[in-house]
Amino acid sequence: MIKGVFFDVGGTLYSYNQYPAVMEFVCQQVALRFSLSNSVSELLGELLIATKKADRQLAMEPFYLFEHYFETICRGFLSAVTTTPNADDVIWCKTVMEQTLLNSLELKPDCHETLTSIKALGLYTSVVSNSDIHQLDTLIKRNHLAQYFDHITSSEAAQACKPDRRFFELALDKSGLQAHEVLFVGDSVEQDIAGAKAVGLATVLIVEEGMITPMHVGGTEVDADYTITSLTELLSLLPEQPNA
């Protein structure tokens, strides 16, 4: 019987629907800072290339900081569209990208309602998120989500990133639950679903129409046990009286 639900955050509780606009904004700011004549479309193409290179470099590493991830993207992007960027340029670009993306994430409209219903069932709930500590803290505090979770863990705190099994094992240790008692909800087949299934968790893939999961690099892909398009649908997969 399912006794706990673990959640990813970006793409799961929060929507990435503003991600394309964020990338365009970064390109606009770079064009202004360096007085570039390139069109936003041209710059966007280079930014996407740099992002894919960073994805391939880091996505399957057992641990990395997202601060480093954004720096890697910006270093590659600026090197492609400007003269060799200095350290200040890279840090500036990293800050613009990270903060704009963080500020753009929108809580899914059924998030509070769904989490309230899950807690009313008496289920253990947890956040298991690939993010640096300050990023995750910002998202949890922004919409008062802490009240819904028994524990919240970032990859920085765990010193492991999904799909590395150490992150999932740490979350299980904190919960005191067995793997077969937990349902993991995430938006990434490669990181969330593959990683959770490898340690024996039941899995739910949440899909948002038109969205491409970040850091998709063609790694290990498996079928989720369930697929949903809204958080509310999760309730139909849970026992009505888990502690009976």
Q: What is the pLDDT along the chain (244 residues), one digit of tens a residue?
A: 999 999 999 999 999 999 999 999 999 999 999 999 999 999 999 999 999 999 999 988 999 999 999 999 999 999 999 988 999 999 999 999 999 999 999 999 999 999 999 999 999 999 999 999 999 999 999 999 999 999 999 999 999 999 999 999 999 999 999 999 999 999 999 999 999 999 999 999 999 988 777 787 877 779 999 999 999 999 999 987 544 4
Tell how strand 106-107 and strand 14-15 pair up: antiparallel
DSSP sequence for 82-146: SSSP-HHHHHHHHHHHHHHHHHH-EE-TTHHHHHHHHHHTT-EEEEEESS-HHHHHHHHHHTT-G
**Coil, helix or strand at residue 188:** coil
190: which DSSP letter? I
Half-sphere exposure of 225 (CA within 13 A, CB side): 16
Look at residues 94, 26, 100 and name the one whose alpha carbon lies nearest to residue 66: 94
What is the reported pTM? Answer: 0.94
